[in-house]
Homo-oligomer: A and B are copies of this chain.
Amino acid sequence: MLKDKRKTYHHGDLRTALINAGLIELEEKGLESLSLRSIAGRVGVSHTAPKNHFDGLRGLLTAIATRGFEMHSQEMQSGVEDQPPGKARLHAACNGYVRFALANPQLFKLMFSRTLRDRSNPDLQRAAWASYSVLRNIAHGLDWDKADASGGPWRTEWMLWSMVHGYAMLLIEGEIKSNEDGTPIFEAAALLPDFDYREEDLASMPPPFEGQKDVGH
């Protein structure tokens, strides 16, 4: 009765236990020195036990990254829903993007590391796309000063994404200095150009990266 795992299996729900332990170890030890053995050890199983649930370390990292994208989506979405449609939501989404990165720096870096995770994993792709869509859906209504000029509709969302992602990265890596409590000196939204905002339909938007229709590169 001490250990009440309600699972029917051998030892319990090792899969999610490993992901949870991985999330903790990740921020504790850092992405670089994270080890499969220490994650397994934290759960109390041998270092080869994860093999039954994940395709090696890479597979576990992929699952952790997937969880990360789900958290990322939620962090942005929660801030967005409080705000009225328009510029306020855009600002909330951008601030949420950066807030998540600063709260989970190692996880954030893992999520965007091409080599450490398995990008062909469908769950990961779904979660990553959902996360990006929060930003994308809000960005679509924007009418940007140069929007009619050179490029297709991707230009505005890539510009937004680049800005907010770069700001998060530079803050995490300590290149841009932040307040003593870790919060950025400028909110992400303070770096944005002063967009005009207009509502439009979302129909004719192509995907911004290899996701959805384009799944599997």
Interface of A toward B, CB cutoff 8 Å: 30-32, 112-116, 119, 144-146, 150-151, 154-155, 158-159, 161-170, 172-177, 185-186, 190-191, 193-194, 208-210
Task: Check if B32 sits within 8 Å of A208, measured CB to CB.
Answer: no
Complex contact A186–B166 (CB within 8 A)? no
Identical chains in the assembly: 2
- A175→B112 CA distance, assembly (Å): 8
**Complex Cα distance A149/B48, Å?**
57
**Do residues A146 and B112 form an inter-chain contact, with CB atoms below 8 A?**
no
Assembled-state Cα–Cα distance A87/B208 (Å): 28
Q: Known pairs A114-B172, A164-B166; list 5 more (Cβ under 8 Å).
A: A112-B173, A114-B173, A158-B176, A177-B208, A177-B210
Contacts of A31 in B (CB 8 A): 115
